[in-house]
């Protein structure tokens, strides 16, 4: 078996889509109605992080999805004008930590509801790439940035997964109807 190349390839130019300029945008439902509808979706709570040198940033998201198994790839949505987005683009890498039940304080911190130093309330390691690796997560992924799509206020980042760490016995933390839920594993 050959080891996959883990060097960061150039991510290439971002594709820009301005949904606000679409003719149907004037017919769209109000944001509060949309977010209410989206709150009915149950999603795993994920912390996205990126690091360059001593500078690291992160954010709690539920907008993360698997893109493909061959090559192994994921996509995550991040607010465009944030330090995290700038760090992902500059580093050409990012990492994902799917939180386990009991990691609500980590989720809160990275959502901006906790201490100013979001990394202070959990134990962090580092992937061989140097990206942050959260101890105790249900699943963690180290990713090379493969491309991006700029969409109004957010950027969708696609990443090729170069390393994983999973603990099948740890149930994921779920976000549903604007609160944390436990996954019923019966």
pLDDT of 175 reads 94
Residues of the chain with pLDDT under 50: 1-9
Instruction: Name 176's Cβ contacts closer than 8 Å, sequence gap at least 6.
Output: 39, 40, 41, 42, 43
In the numeric block, the tokens 């061989």 are attached to 128
Give the CA distances from residue 23 to residues 26, 76, 86, 165, in Å, rounded to whole numbers and listed in that order.
7, 26, 30, 44
pLDDT of residue 141: 98
pLDDT score of 35: 82
pLDDT in tens, 86-95: 999 999 999 9
Sign of CA dihedral 121, 122, 126, 131: negative
Residue 183 pLDDT? 80
The count of residues in the chain is 186
Superfamily of domain 15-20+41-176: Electron Transport, Fmn-binding Protein; Chain A (2.30.110.10)
Summarised one tens digit per residue, pLDDT across range 55-70 is 999 999 999 999 999 9
pLDDT at site 7:
46
Average pLDDT, the chain: 89
Q: What is the pLDDT of residue 15?
A: 66
Task: Provide the pLDDT for residue 118.
Answer: 94
């Amino acid at each position: 078996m050959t080891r996959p190349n883990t060097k960061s390839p150039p991510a290439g130019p971002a594709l820009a889509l301005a949904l606000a300029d679409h003719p149907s945008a004037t017919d769209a439902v109000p944001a509060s109605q949309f977010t209410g509808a989206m709150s009915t979706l149950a999603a795993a709570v994920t912390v996205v992080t990126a690091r360059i040198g001593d500078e690291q940033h992160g954010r709690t998201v539920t907008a993360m999805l698997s893109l493909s198994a061959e090559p192994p790839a994921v996509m995550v949505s991040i607010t465009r004008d944030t330090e995290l987005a700038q760090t992902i683009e500059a580093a050409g890498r990012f990492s994902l930590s799917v939180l386990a039940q009991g990691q609500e304080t980590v989720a809160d911190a990275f959502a901006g509801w906790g201490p100013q130093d979001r990394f202070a309330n959990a134990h962090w390691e580092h992937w061989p790439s140097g990206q942050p690796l959260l101890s105790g997560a249900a699943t963690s992924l180290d990713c090379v940035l493969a491309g991006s799509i700029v969409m109004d206020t957010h950027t969708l980042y696609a990443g090729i997964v170069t390393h994983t760490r999973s603990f099948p016995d740890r149930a994921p933390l779920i976000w549903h109807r604007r609160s944390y839920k436990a996954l019923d594993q019966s």
